[in-house]
Amino acid sequence: MSGVIERVKKHRDALRRRGMRPVQIWVPDTRRPGFAEECKRQSLLVKNDKQEKDVLEFLDEAADREGWEA
C-alpha cells in the first residue's frame, strides 16, 4: 500500500510545482431519497418568476460557448 501512497504523493507534488492546489467541495447527494422531489419543488417556486427569467436570459447571452458545441 505504501507504493500507492508514494505515487499519489509524487503526483500531488508535481501538480503543486506546476502551480496547482487541491480543493475540496461538497455537493448535494443526487442519490439521496427525496432529491428529485426537492428539485422539482424548488423549480416550481421560480417557474414563472420574472427575475429568474431575466437571470437565465442574461446567463445565456453572456455564455461563451465557442468550441463547446458539436
Domain count, the chain: 1
Terminal CA-to-CA distance of the chain, rounded, Å?
Answer: 43
Task: Flag whether 50 is in a domain.
Answer: yes
Q: Are the CB atoms for 11 and 18 separated by under 8 Å?
A: no
pTM as predicted:
0.54
Task: Flag whether 60 is in a domain.
Answer: yes
Query: In which residue are the cell numbers 437571470 written?
Result: 55
pLDDT in tens, 19-67: 999 999 999 999 999 999 999 999 999 999 999 999 999 999 999 988 8
Q: Are the CB atoms for 38 and 29 separated by under 8 Å?
A: no
Task: Flag whether 7 is in a domain.
Answer: no
